[in-house]
Structure 1
Amino acid sequence: MTLRREEFVSIPESDLDGVSVDTLAVRAGQIRTDQLEHGDAIFPTSSFVYGSAAQAAARFSGEEPGNIYSRFTNPTVQAFEARIAAMEGGERAVATASGMAAILSICMSLLQSGDHVICSRGVFGTTNVLFQKYLARFGIETTFVSLTDLDEWQASVRSNTRMMFIETPSNPLCEVADMTALAALARASGALFVVDNCFCTPVLQRPFEFGADIVMHSATKYLDGQGRCLGGVVIGSSKLMEEVYGFLRSAGPTLSPFNAWVFLKGLETLPIRMRAHCENALELAHWLEQQPGVEKVFYAGLKDHPQHDLAARQQSGFGGVLSFTVTGGKDAAWAFIDATRMISITANLGDVKTTITHPGTTTHGRLSPEDREKAGITDNLIRLSVGIESLEDIRNDLRRGFAAFSS
């Protein structure tokens, strides 16, 4: 890395070639003003002014680069987009108002009526609802398949299949997809391969290296890391992202400059946070396996996990989310959750604070009982997003749950 002189107002991309994700998380994408501020600047403005009517016309026509209106051009948002694109190893990123807005933007810009999508069952419940209910109204049909059954993916391919969509690891059962195999199937089928990388982030996993065409995030989760605001981002080739950007410019599911600034600050600590999440989650998973009343622990870091070896090849860590089932059904799961005192009862994940939720009645509560059953979301399933508090303090709070569960 060649160190940049302070009079330069931005870091040339060539100066960051070959540096680690840890460095990109801190240095990539920063846009300095002529004031040469050391921290990232925030531009809380709706519009930008021009020197003349001719310049305004040139900006709007695209003949001259520059900012126009913060619905689709804002320096703080662009800095966040550049940083996460560099970290993922993609050509371009487009930031959105939420993770669901990111998925919607992908679908509305790259699919059309008559297209077919194959989606893994192990996705966030609202992702399922978006595909199954709302996109279906516009003539886009979705087939849901097992994330890990390649034969089922192959059997579901049609002549009009245009997209394959997955989360890996999955939410909330931590199943892991063979991305190389799915990418090859997508290429052979003429479909785009889209990976939600929310659980791992580019610190632990870079799906482009395994053949993904598009990577997306709910930035609300680990990219922020402190539960402060909503956002999403889509990363891919410049050609594909130009289509996504065109939809965003017209439809307006836009990330605010303030939220983009928060995410820039979050990315600076993402590598060290992810390692702490992984360390706590792995130890907690082993501990939970030993507790009376726990039927099964779902975490790819456990050696008896069906995709443990695959996860070890694709990921540099196993992530901070795990799930487990308890004996006694929903009543036991609710009693366990309610007995905790420090851990936050909330459906969000990726926070420095440990969170706990009952997926069957929260994140996946809008699914039909049949779809929950197919996805493996049982009434006795509890999901933990393991934070970076003292591991012993997390254990002690979970002991309260076990005490209530066994009483």
Structure 2
Amino acid sequence: MTNQEKIGTKTVWAGESEYLVHGATQVPVVLSVSYGYDDMDEWYDVAIGKKKGHIYGRNTNPTVQAFEDKIKALEGAEAATSFSTGMAAISNTLSTFLFPGDRIVSIKDTYGGTNKIFTEFLPRQQVEVTLCETGHHEQIEAEVKKGCKILYLETPTNPTVKITDIERMAEAGHRAGALVIVDNTFATPINQNPLSLGADLVIHSATKFLGGHADALGGAVCGAKHLIEQIYHYREINGATMDPMAAYLILRGMKTLHLRVRQQCQGAMKIAKYLQTKSIVEAVYYPGLETHPNHEIAKKQMADFGGMLSFSVKGGVDTVRELLPKLKYANRAANLGAVETIVGPARTTSHVECTPEERAAMGIPEGLIRYSCGIEDAEDLIADLEQAFARVENSIKV
């Protein structure tokens, strides 16, 4: 493929032709752990990367490589490498570049697992971590200017969907000589391409929107070849390898990514506007709303506003306990980005690792509900919310 095709065509065709065999139209699942060579010199050339090929499943695999080629194409990157999970992608990438005495600047509102790396694991490795108020661009710029090895961003954030200006922050990071990394899981390559906005590396939890069917774990990092080679080397030695069956399932899911995300964006916008009309709802968090504090930045850097939203309800946790079981068209689960709508409070999903005090410090109310809009008809999802709200309002004083 060239770079001229539109994103929908790339989701279907990119990265696959090289791996089709025996006239098959679909990439096969290659489950072999090892790959044999009669020619010792050829084996050696493949082993040292001088020649294309595979030697051992912990290093590379044809099915996995097809996934890497597809996400590389969607993000407009020179190279990509994959991981067993999204958190493996994040932790391995940070571990590749950070050493004792280094400094990283990030935001307070990152995913709970990422936040734990910042607050628990990196300090243990003598890495200095500074977390800034999300959306406070002047504060981030001031901290970056003091010097840092990495500027790490997540936009939109999980679960409060706050937005950071990637282009502005990338410029600040590069002025300070920092590597700029962006978690693009919520936006997906359909809605946002951080590399085109100046980021050096873009990370995905492929478990979420990329796979889209809640049946496979995976992660990916895309960027310049010389950076990806370093991350790949760390991963191949430490072993957080993507499983070939997971790669196959995620590849299959990615073929409909543009269709799913389009439907999810449309549904999320309708639901966000509906939630604004409900007296039981204290606040609605969705960057597509004009009331969102970073709406203009989102308009500038996103093609659409995503399928993720969150809202907080009056009565806090008590209302959440009553409301969620009454929803018919929503899985109450710790996942997102699937074809089915998924709901859950941050205290059991994105930030279960954090204490109530830590969540409060991040601006996450205990009554906040994360809502991952599926591909169902928005009218049915709204009717479902309406009947659940009505039943809760009748049983709880809010």
Please indicate, yes or no, whether the TM-score normalized by the shorter chain is above 0.5. Answer: yes
1:70 is aligned to 2:35: no
Task: Say which of 229, 253, 263 aligns to 1:242.
Answer: 229
1:19 is aligned to 2:5: yes
- Report if the CA contact (8 A) 1:220-1:227 is conserved: yes
1:262 is aligned to 2:262: no
Q: CA deviation at 1:379?
A: 1.2
Which deviates the most, 97-106 or 27-36? Answer: 27-36
Q: CA deviation at 1:157?
A: 2.8
Look up the equivalent residue of 1:29 and give its one-letter code: G
CA distance in 1, matches of 2:225, 2:39: 30
Task: Please report the TM-score for the alignment, with normalisation by the length of structure 1.
Answer: 0.93
Task: Please report the TM-score for the alignment, with normalisation by the length of structure 2.
Answer: 0.95
CA distance in 2, matches of 1:319, 1:65: 37
Which deviates the most, 258-267 or 268-277? Answer: 258-267
Alignment of 1:124-273 (within 5 A): 124-157=111-144, 160-273=147-260
Aligned residue for 1:55?
42
Q: CA deviation at 1:359?
A: 0.4
Which deviates the most, 198-207 or 333-342? Answer: 333-342
- Report if the CA contact (8 A) 1:145-1:153 is conserved: yes
Aligned residue for 1:380?
367
Deviations 1:316-341 (A, max 9, x none): 11101111111112111221112223
- Report if the CA contact (8 A) 1:334-1:358 is conserved: no
Q: CA deviation at 1:130?
A: 1.6
Q: CA deviation at 1:398?
A: 1.5
- Report if the CA contact (8 A) 1:118-1:165 is conserved: yes
Note the residue ranges of structure 2 that are not aligned, 5 or more in a row.
none
Q: CA deviation at 1:387?
A: 0.5
Which deviates the most, 150-159 or 334-343? Answer: 150-159
State the secondary structure of the residue aligned to 1:194.
strand
Q: CA deviation at 1:35?
A: 1.3
CA distance in 1, matches of 2:20, 2:26: 11
Which deviates the most, 108-117 or 210-219? Answer: 108-117
CA distance in 1, matches of 2:35, 2:2: 30
State the secondary structure of the residue aligned to 1:83.
helix
- Report if the CA contact (8 A) 1:360-1:377 is conserved: no
Which deviates the most, 222-231 or 259-268? Answer: 259-268
1:320 is aligned to 2:313: no
Q: CA deviation at 1:41?
A: 2.0
CA distance in 1, matches of 2:64, 2:303: 28
CA distance in 2, matches of 1:93, 1:54: 27
Which deviates the most, 230-239 or 294-303? Answer: 294-303
Look up the equivalent residue of 1:185 and give its one-letter code: A
- Report if the CA contact (8 A) 1:114-1:141 is conserved: yes
State the secondary structure of the residue aligned to 1:161.
coil
Aligned residue for 1:9?
none
Which deviates the most, 308-317 or 370-379? Answer: 370-379
CA distance in 2, matches of 1:158, 1:286: 39
Q: CA RMSD in A?
A: 1.4
State the secondary structure of the residue aligned to 1:187.
helix
Aligned residue for 1:4?
none
Alpha-carbon distance change, 100 to 34 in structure 1, aligned in 2, over 3 angstroms: closer
Look up the equivalent residue of 1:348 and give its one-letter code: N
Note the residue ranges of structure 1 that are not aligned, 5 or more in a row.
1-14
CA distance in 2, matches of 1:131, 1:146: 14
Deviations 1:285-339 (A, max 9, x none): 1111111211111101111111112111111111011111111121112211122
CA distance in 2, matches of 1:62, 1:180: 34
CA distance in 2, matches of 1:32, 1:64: 16
Look up the equivalent residue of 2:194 and give its one-letter code: P
Q: CA deviation at 1:160?
A: 4.8
State the secondary structure of the residue aligned to 2:150.
strand
- Report if the CA contact (8 A) 1:343-1:397 is conserved: no
Pairs aligned (count): 393
Aligned residue for 1:396?
383
- Report if the CA contact (8 A) 1:147-1:166 is conserved: no
CA distance in 1, matches of 2:49, 2:311: 53
- Report if the CA contact (8 A) 2:144-2:151 is conserved: no
State the secondary structure of the residue aligned to 2:370.
strand
State the secondary structure of the residue aligned to 1:246.
helix
CA distance in 1, matches of 2:133, 2:171: 17
Task: Say which of 275, 295, 316 aligns to 2:262.
Answer: 275
CA distance in 1, matches of 2:236, 2:220: 14
Aligned residue for 2:276?
289
Task: Say which of 332, 337, 343 aligns to 1:345.
Answer: 332
- Report if the CA contact (8 A) 1:16-1:24 is conserved: no
State the secondary structure of the residue aligned to 1:157.
helix
CA distance in 1, matches of 2:238, 2:32: 19
1:356 is aligned to 2:343: yes
Look up the equivalent residue of 2:253 and give its one-letter code: G
CA distance in 2, matches of 1:126, 1:147: 17
Deviations 1:141-171 (A, max 9, x none): 2111112101221232365511111111111
CA distance in 2, matches of 1:305, 1:159: 30
